[in-house]
A and B are shown apart, each in its own frame.
Chain A
Amino acid sequence: MTMATEGSLGAAVQTDQTAFDAVRRAKQKDIVFATGGLIVMAIAMTLLLTLIGDLVIRGAARIDYGFLTSYPSRLPERAGILSAWVGSLLVMLVTAFLAIPIGIGAGLYLEEYARKGWLSNFIEINVSNLAGVPSIIYGLLALGLFVYGFSLGKTILVAGMTLALLILPIVIVSTREAVRAIPRIIKEGAYGLGADQWQVMWSYIIPAARPGILTGAIVGLSRAIGETAPIITIGALTFIAFLPPAPVTPDFPLISFAWLNDGFTVLPIQMFNWVSRPQEGFHIAAAATGVVLIALTFTLNGIAIWIRYRLRKGYRN
């Protein structure tokens, strides 16, 4: 009897000891892994910060009012990015106008309406793959289809359409993921009240998925704003000393779409162009353009984070 008790007590103590050892070993592994991760991350961040830092050091001082309001010039000191940033802005406008509604619509349709089957699986795989297609391929497609096929010319409209194609998969995939993340019981609750699919879509799914959808759209746009290859492929001009016609007119319709059919340049192309010049002054201008571009990208991503944060909060409260 006593023996038995002692025996079981001993066993218990032993089990405890093994358990403690196991926990200690696991903790050691955690520490090794965390340290490794930290080192890798530090290297990556240092590289990134060095690149950005280099750009900022060389270019930041060059950014002033004149730089933002002047056209490019043969003289490096007089060159500015007015036509480039206006071009970027207008192209982004077209891109957003096309890619966001179409991408959201397609994502919602695929996720909520399309019958699940081999076809929707096939489309899903292909949409994900499209997100990884090199952007220059989109440029070639646009050159063949829009510029020559439809004879649309090398215009802002075509650039916007090309970039819209490019980011469409991003918008579609993020829309589907946002919709998929909505808890099933919320959807069932809405259907359980007698809502039809349209009502569930508008009153429950879209509001709940909004943060994810908007984030995807902005991430897509911030990718598009830095794209160079497809825009060069469709033949953007590299030297533009004029602005497209203003979208707002003093005369009756007050709105004009003539700018859509204008030639253009964009920030990354302006930068590319200056980098390839021999003069040091143009390299500085290129660095300054890079700083503006990075600032724009960061701003867009910042807005995405802010929207996600704000809407998530609203969703809870």
Chain B
Amino acid sequence: MTDTTVLAPARGVLDQDWRKIVNYGLLLALAEVFIALANMPVGLDDFILIEPILSLGYVSLLWLPLLLGYSIGTEKVLEGVTSHAKGAREVVAGACVGLIGGGGVSGLVLLLDNFDLRDPLVNWSPQLLALLAFDNGVGYGVGVWLAIGGGLGLLGGSMHLIAPLARRVVSTMVLAVVGVAVLETILSDIAEDLFLEWLADWIYFIRGGVSLHGAATVAVVAGAYAVWGSKAVKGAKASYQALEGVERKQANKVSIAVVVAATILLPLVLGKITNELLANVGLFLLLALGLNIVIGLAGILDLGYVAFFAVGGYTTAILTSPNRGDSWPTWIPQVWWVVALMLVIVLAGLTGLFIGAPVIRMRGDYLAIVTLGFGEIIRLLFLSDWLGGFTGGAQGVTNVPGVQVFGLANVRGTDPRAVFYLVAFFCAIAIYVSWRLEKSRIGRAWMAVREDESVAEAMGINTVNVKLLAFVVGAVLASFSGAIFAAKVGSVFPTSFIILVSIVILIVVIVGGMGNIAGVVAGSVVLIGVLGGPKQPGLLQEFSEFKLLIYGALLVWMMLKRPEGLIPNVRRTRELHQDEFLQDAWLKGQIDEGDETGDGGEVAPA
């Protein structure tokens, strides 16, 4: 953008929007204090990023001043509005913001030293004080934090002064080093599997963290990528988008084939930890794909989705486990998993109908609240005395056997690779189902219902039926996930099916991109793979304590900045950015100008 628009000369250093600076600064101070009191610095202090200089604990406080110092200087480039060249003004603004933020931390240091608020604030601890004061006395801490804040803000602000390429190089380098350091466990695991142990040994320090020469190596590689590699990637993307018709289809086929091949081959070379992670990602992906049909296609905000996961899990466990609840007669079913699955499908479908029938006529918020209630009711039923004879109450059902695949394999938790393949198989089914349904009479009806329910009804769509269908299809997909979950873990407990599961799946769908399969996949990989599921550890095991905090922050940020998700659905983007979309179409000459001539409308698209 900046290359094409003519910029007005930079504004004077004192020509600042002081109110905005103070706002940003206070926001920064508040965020820093909050992070500190959420125990991030102390909790993550043992996690060394770069030996010996930097721990993740400090990083949790350092990234924000940098970011806000930069973003205070950014301004939207609008058509027809003069924008100014960046200069010392932005640097000063960044420094001021950082200084106020640093002042917040300094203030916290003083307060920590003088008051004891441990009672309401559990993390108000001497450790925090020591950490924030760098073990060097309060005065030192106060001074250093002011300096750090101002310095980082200044650094962030001065990012505006360097060329865009240099900016990209620097940010790629920083992100790469932090990423490589944070992902140490998993990366060294993968390296080991690929016989690249020597590389891991070079980059990582023995007791954790990246060694200094390792960090330098990573930075150089990342920098090189930023200069040359990203251009190649962009070029490839552009040439893909330029493809049309048959060629594009072929390109799509090739990329699908590559993904499938990678899904089949990668687990073979990956280690146990990684495969376990992938298996968890798969389980949640399966759930998210089902919820995506319900919410992304049909627009039904179901907050009790975990109910179907629970039905799948419990049905499988009860039917396959040799354990006998009190209510059973002497006979125990103990059937083969695949047989149990047939019944799971039936029961999940029925539960979908049972929950769906009363709630489906409601709209929006009401439906969300009621489904939330039903989700809890199902869990409490499994926990209750009434069904306790079958479900084991709080003790749950244990000894669930693995999945016997024709004597070839016994898929269970001890063999995460096999679990992953099983999950991947069902995910493939779910993807196929979503894809085919979306492009069918039913899928179109779902879309219409989502857009305007009463008009859809007036156009001859039985909205109750099509919505129920979405509910039931979603329910069955979730129950598959439950069935695999039971066999994988070997037991089911009511606590595995708490409301948090529903919420996490919903966040996966929203963050990934509602209504888009690729988006849902991306969402599961990023959230479940990196952060972890409600109880399942992710790549960032160290963050598990702060998982929900990060989930929440991410969700808020996404809602503000990119409500359509990581990989958005075209339609939803249109819905959420109607104005921009129309403006865009107008610029491209696709907007219909009306037809004064009475025969118009055949203006060729640009």
A-B complex is real: no
